[in-house]
Amino acid sequence: MSTPPHSAELSETSDPKTRRAVDGQALKTLAEAALTWLRTNHESVNALNVFPVPDGDTGTNMVLTMQSAFDEIATTPERSIGKVAAALAQGALMGARGNSGVILSQLWRGFARGLEDKDTLTAEDFALALASARDTAYKGVVRPVEGTILTVAKDVAAAVEAALEDTRDPLALLEIAVQAADASVERTPELLDVLKEAGVVDSGGKGLFFLLEGMLRHAQGLSLDTAIATVKPLAALNLDEAMHAVEPGQDFEVVVDFRPHEPLHLEKFYSDLEAMGTSIQIGEGDGIYRMHIHVPTEKRYEPIDYTMSLGTITKVHIENLMAQMEEIENQKKRPPLKLSPVEPGQIAVVAVAPGPGIANMFASLGAAAIIEGGQTMNPSTQEILQAFENLPTDKIIILPNNKNIHLAAQAATEVTVKNAVVIPSRTVPQGLSALLRLIPDGEFDDVVAGMKSALDDVETGEITTATRSVEIDGVQVHEGQTIVLHNGKLIHACEDLTEACLAFLEKAGASDFELITLFYGEDLNPNEAHRIADLIRETYPEQEVEVQDGGQPHYQFIIALE
């Protein structure tokens, strides 16, 4: 769409220095434009992932956070900009997902504070609100890092404040804000070595730029249309996502790998595929494209014939969607989790788990509530809050088990009347180690301290597939390789899953530990998992080796050393 449907133009005023007054309805329109433009470009934000692991979801998290913010004001007739901004901030807070989403919600919170009791926004108000947004976001992060979305927010606020000497026009100031954001994003690699090493700009800062640019594009009457086609790296193409929205008439799933004879015209390619089916996804890597589509029975060969006219086909996969859906439904019929009952006054633990097998492990160790989440599926502040608000106790401990969920978990503790504490577990093994220290009837502060200390009792290995080619920390990675992370640090890349597991165990000093636990992912055959476990037993005969069905997506193995 070229303009958001809830249109409210910037109104003219008699003061030539302040040509436009922005009220609550205008802010609503601008917020929707920001959301629309970010959604249009969110895949390009996702692609700005420093590490080549499948967690490039900054753009998605910011879109979901912004959607929650806009939902809060979508139907309001309120004209006070202060009240609309406050509602936006509340919606952003409750819908915040991932660290980027939480920081975005803090920016909105600060922006709203700067407009408190205001009916319309003047140029001075705009500058004050941006400064308040900057200050609130910086205070909300324990260790602010320059070269991130925080820096972009700071540079935007400074540019707008400086421009007040030349203009009192909010639209002109918005244009200056966009220019400042663009320049700041481009400078982020100069401030953060890891960005320079990876050859990318900061993803959160880029998301903030798109939000501001979306507002400006609407004000200038420019298009906010959704992108016609987007291309992901092959290794990041998640075809399972398409199974969550199978429409009537989609009888077959067709996946074709091909090498085009000539440079691919993506928009025409996508448009031609739309005439055949739905759920279209396109991936690219090393000159090979992967096309995914859902089609009716009578059209199941059309995508293959069409793709063959464009290049050389290297692989074709056709599968009956109804059969796949039936299998998915059967998998959902797992026995329900047996969560630990909580008595009033006891300590209750809420754990985030990326797979059903891992969820069962947390439940068996005493978790009172489980939240589905992890890489690429960060729960919102609201979802975390809902997990414990109805538990019959006011003593709550949250285990996020992922570095990108910590801020949302912390935000949940700030909007509840309960005594809730976040244990900063960054991995599943850390969360399980902490949960072993739970004493439901213990002294709350002592249990919290014990669980925090348990985080250092375990080493974590994560084995996954590289989503991009890059060199990080001296490790050269090629897209599609198997990569190894030790406590979140990239340490090895290779072509073989067994080699990857053994490389982690060697570098983590597995011979100094008693227990090696392998949690295998949803896409790994159990027989293969046990075969690798047997080889590990041969290599480490003094250690006990356990194999658990973790069921986590994206990661073939999560490994714990205890």
Residues 294 and 277 in one domain: yes
Last residue of a domain, one of 160, 191, 219: 219
Residues 275 and 347 in one domain: no
Last residue of a domain, one of 330, 359, 386: 330
Structure tokens at 404: 């990108």
The C-alpha atoms of residue 74 and residue 175 are separated, in whole angstroms, by 25
Whether 226 is covered by a domain: the verdict is: no
Residues 111 and 80 in one domain: yes
Residues 153 and 247 in one domain: no
CATH number at residue 378: 3.40.50.510
The C-alpha atoms of residue 93 and residue 144 are separated, in whole angstroms, by 19
Whether 6 is covered by a domain: the verdict is: no
The C-alpha atoms of residue 232 and residue 44 are separated, in whole angstroms, by 9
Whether 147 is covered by a domain: the verdict is: yes
Residues 20 and 99 in one domain: yes
Structure tokens at 283: 């991936």
Nearest to 287 by CA among 314, 315, 260, 311: 260
Whether 224 is covered by a domain: the verdict is: no
Residues 247 and 381 in one domain: no
Whether 200 is covered by a domain: the verdict is: yes
Residues 316 and 241 in one domain: yes
Residues 163 and 16 in one domain: yes
The pLDDT assigned to 14 comes to 39
CATH number at residue 173: 1.25.40.340
Structure tokens at 87: 């509602």
Per-residue pLDDT of the chain (562 residues; tens, 9 = 90+): 344 444 444 544 434 444 556 899 999 999 999 999 998 888 788 878 777 776 668 888 999 999 999 999 999 999 999 999 999 999 999 999 988 999 999 999 999 999 999 999 999 999 999 999 999 999 988 788 999 999 999 999 999 999 998 988 888 999 999 999 999 999 999 998 888 888 889 999 999 999 999 999 999 988 886 543 455 555 455 555 544 444 556 778 888 989 999 988 888 888 888 889 887 878 777 678 888 888 888 888 999 999 999 999 988 888 887 666 565 555 555 567 788 889 999 999 999 999 999 999 999 999 999 998 877 788 999 999 999 999 999 999 999 999 999 999 999 999 999 999 999 999 999 999 999 999 999 999 999 999 999 999 999 999 999 888 888 888 999 888 999 999 999 999 999 999 999 999 999 999 999 999 999 998 899 999 999 999 999 999 999 999 999 999 889 999 999 9
For 70, 215, 225, 282, 372, the CA distances from 36, given in Å and listed in that order, are 11, 9, 8, 22, 27
Provide the residue count of the chain: 562
Residues 375 and 294 in one domain: no
Residues 212 and 254 in one domain: no
Cα Rg of the chain (Å, integer): 25
Structure tokens at 180: 């400042």
pTM of the model: 0.76
User: How many domains is the chain built from?
Assistant: 4
The pLDDT assigned to 321 comes to 74
Q: How far is CA 156 from the centre of its chain?
A: 24
The pLDDT assigned to 326 comes to 60
Whether 480 is covered by a domain: the verdict is: yes
Cβ neighbors of 170 (< 8 A, separation 6 or more) are 10, 18, 20, 21, 22, 121, 122, 123, 126
CA torsion 212→216→218→219, rounded to 10°? 140
The pLDDT assigned to 297 comes to 86
For 209, 371, 422, the CA distances from 141, given in Å and listed in that order, are 20, 24, 15
Instruction: Tell me if residue 444 falls in helix, strand or coil.
Output: helix
Instruction: Tell me if residue 270 falls in helix, strand or coil.
Output: helix
Residue 206's domain comprises 11-219
The pLDDT assigned to 437 comes to 96
CATH number at residue 302: 3.30.70.260
Place of tokens 């995914």: 292
The pLDDT assigned to 330 comes to 56
Determine how many CB atoms are found less than 10 A away from the CB of residue 512: 9
Residues 398 and 472 in one domain: no
Cβ neighbors of 318 (< 8 A, separation 6 or more) are 252, 253, 254, 255, 300
